[in-house]
Amino acid sequence: MPLKLAISGKGGVGKTTLAALLCHLYAREGRRVLAVDADPDANLGSALGVAPQELQRVAPIAGLSDLVRERTGAEPGRPGQFFLLNPRVDDIPERFWLERGGIRLLVMGGVKGGGGGCACPENALVQALLRHLLLERSDTVIVDLEAGLEHLGRGTARGVDALLVVVEPGRRSFQTAASVFRLASDLGVPRVMAVGNKARPGEEEAIRKGVGDIPLLGVLPFDPEAARADLEGLPPHQACPALLRAAAEVKSRLDQSCPG
């Protein structure tokens, strides 16, 4: 089975940037890449370089009321109902992804304020879809998660070959990484590894110390071009060659850790 990867970390550390760089690197190798935006505040598409007009056409799955109702048998947004926990989802990816340069983007969406963990039909559908993507698909799947791992259930976690937790030089991001590491290990994720980001010269050692027992796959430098690219809507693989090089090193270590 091709690689199934999930990316987590504190808000703003660079999860989406790393996810987009890795999607690009795997697609460049000729792999079929499924880029999954599982952050309710979705922006993986723009980091992949998809134009705003095109992104408007990508429907977040959790927001498709008719689909949620049809598949789960329950009314979205209404608490206290029975709904199917195992709805049919295998036909959903093809219907709703956006394909660009060998990368297929799926946007999960989310329940505002509810968190991915809430027991509602929207989340049941999103979680069933994630399980399907991670356990049954023969694509390289890269999931941009939020820090809380709300979307990862026990069943899903075992389908992830590796969870990357992004850290920046800063104690709060190390604390988030430590709790993500514990949670992911409890859920049964087979490998949890850290990737440093936004490291200015001399900060790599602090990152190495900060991640503690979490194996460190690599460190991406602070790159002023990244913020500019974000502002101008350019994908980091085009605008930030230094980040692309560092991400390629992370990828090659990842490929060594997750053979097959």
Tell me which residues touch ligand ATP (CB under 6 A): 9, 11-17, 39, 197-198, 220, 222-223, 226-227, 230, 243
Partner from Mg ion, ligand ATP, none binding residue 12, C-beta < 5-8 Å depending on class: ligand ATP
Q: How many residues bind Mg ion (CB under 5 A)?
A: 2
In this structure, are residues 104 and 23 in contact, taking their beta carbons and an 8 Å threshold? Answer: no
Distance CA 19, CA 37 (A): 9
In this structure, are residues 101 and 27 in contact, taking their beta carbons and an 8 Å threshold? Answer: yes
Whichever of 161 and 223 has its CB closer to ligand ATP, that residue is 223
In this structure, are residues 121 and 75 in contact, taking their beta carbons and an 8 Å threshold? Answer: yes
Angle at CA 156, nearest 5°, toward 60 and 165?
Answer: 80
Question: In the bound complex, which residue of the shown chain has the CB atom lying closest to Mg ion?
Answer: 16
Beta-bridge partner residues of 167:
196
Whichever of 111 and 166 has its CB closer to Mg ion, that residue is 166
**Site pattern 10..39 for Mg ion (x: CB under 5 A):** -----xx-----------------------
Whichever of 9 and 45 has its CB closer to ligand ATP, that residue is 9
Partner from Mg ion, ligand ATP, none binding residue 11, C-beta < 5-8 Å depending on class: ligand ATP
Whichever of 113 and 259 has its CB closer to ligand ATP, that residue is 113
Partner from Mg ion, ligand ATP, none binding residue 227, C-beta < 5-8 Å depending on class: ligand ATP
Angle at CA 213, nearest 5°, toward 164 and 151?
Answer: 35
Whichever of 134 and 143 has its CB closer to Mg ion, that residue is 143
Nearest C-alpha neighbor of 104 from the set 50, 159, 41: 50
Regarding 8 and contact with Mg ion (CB under 5 A), the answer is: no
Whichever of 135 and 242 has its CB closer to ligand ATP, that residue is 242
DSSP letter string, 111-157? -TTT-TTS-SHHHHHHHHHHHHHHHH--SEEEEE--TT-TT--HHHH
Partner from ligand ATP, Mg ion, none binding residue 51, C-beta < 5-8 Å depending on class: none
User: Residue 223 carries which side chain, given as an amino acid letter?
Assistant: D
Q: Which residues bind Mg ion (CB under 5 A)?
A: 15-16
